[in-house]
Amino acid sequence: MPTSPQSPHLPFGDNVHSPWYGKDVLSVKNLDRKDLEYIFGVAHEMHGMVDRVGSFDLLKGKILANLFYEPSTRTSSSFHAAMERLGGSVIPINNVKYSSVSKGESLADTIRTLECYADVIVLRHPEVGSAAIAAEAAEKPVLNAGDGVGEHPTQALLDLFTIFSELDIGEIDGKTITMLGDLKYGRTVHSLARLLTLYDVKLNYVSPDILKMPQEVMDEVAAKGIPQAEYSSLEEVLPETDVLYVTRVQKERFKNPGDYEKVAGSFVINTEIMKAAKEQMIVMHPLPRVNEISPDFDKDPRAAYFRQMEYGLYVRMALLAMVLGKA
């Protein structure tokens, strides 16, 4: 946890004057360290409440429209669970084949429809910038659950919350974070690299040549004065790494399937390789994994990827409560 989170006290009252009330969460670009301390303070309290009482009625009467145009297991079900644990309810739309989208309805019209029925909208969509289009169309808050290869801000928030919680460091400053795998198409690393620029960290990028971190993200990181370097092999940087963030090669984004075959399986983490890593470090993955982390590593205490999913529930509970003026 950050050293001095501004811990709000449960139960929350209505707070339409809260700076978060009615806000969209489209990108990590406008967040600062104070925002993160606040979000993580609320997430920490959500964790405590779930442990103590499971569910409670903070968002009773509120409705979430959970709109997914791309596959999802964790993001959609954790937002769904977050809303239900807060006493609210959910309109789940994850098979757009059966919605009016298949009749040719525009995203803006679908969003205008859903906000007639719901208080907050979570959107995953294959196009970069789709969440911004939705937010433009909607009066109600829109949370970006992944816009193509663009951003995945709520994932980056839960990733950072995981890092704070797991490393038990209070301070992330001085740590080395190594991102591995598909850094070109992986939206989670685009958001996480940007978010980490708020701290005094060192970033390493390890990827096949055709899957490097986009220049746009690297330029933003450089502009914040954060040291970053690219590598083609993990061995060079594994011993100094405090957080190893592994990603899946995003097969669905390749125009040429032959290119996918060339790079699939380039990096596989297993117990043998991890002998070269520190004892006090963590391995993360947004999941799903295909074969980039061998299941033989799952029992290692450094394997944080299953715990990471649970932190996501608390962060998403916090965000829903905040944008609905209840935190």
CB 120 within 8 A of CB 144: no
CB closer to ligand NCD, 5 vs 186: 186
Identity of the residue, 183 or 196, whose beta carbon is nearer to ligand NCD in the bound complex? 183
DSSP summary character for residue 236: T
Q: Starting at the earlier edge strand, list the strands of the sheet with 176-180.
A: 228-231, 202-206, 176-180, 243-246, 282-284
Site string for ligand NCD, 31-70 (x = CB under 6 A): ----------------------------------------
Q: Map residue 200 onto helix, strand or coil.
A: coil
Question: Contact between 248 and ligand NCD (CB under 6 A)?
Answer: yes
C-alpha–C-alpha distance, residues 313 and 75, integer Å: 9
Site for ligand NCD (CB under 6 A): how many residues?
A: 11
Contact 245, 180 (CB under 8 A): yes
Q: Is 1 in the site for ligand NCD (CB under 6 A)?
A: no
User: Which listed residue (66, 75, 165, 176) binds ligand NCD by CB under 6 A?
Assistant: 75
- The mark string for 121-160 relative to ligand NCD (x by CB under 6 A, - otherwise) is -------------------------x-----x--x-----
Q: Choose which of 23, 74, 278, 307 interacts with ligand NCD (CB under 6 A).
A: 74
Residue 268 has which token pair? 């596989």
Q: How many CB atoms lie within 10 A of CB 48?
A: 13
Count of helices and strands (H, E) across the chain: 9, 9
Nearer to ligand NCD, 89 or 250 (CB): 250
Q: Answer for the pair 316, 79: CB distance below 8 angstroms, yes or no.
A: yes
User: DSSP code of 235?
Assistant: T
- Interacting residue with ligand NCD among 44, 140, 187, 202 (CB under 6 A): 187
204: contact with ligand NCD by CB under 6 A = no
Does position 167 interact with ligand NCD (CB under 6 A)? The reply is no
Residues forming contacts to ligand NCD in the complex (CB under 6 A) are 74-75, 146, 152, 155, 187-188, 248, 250, 286-287
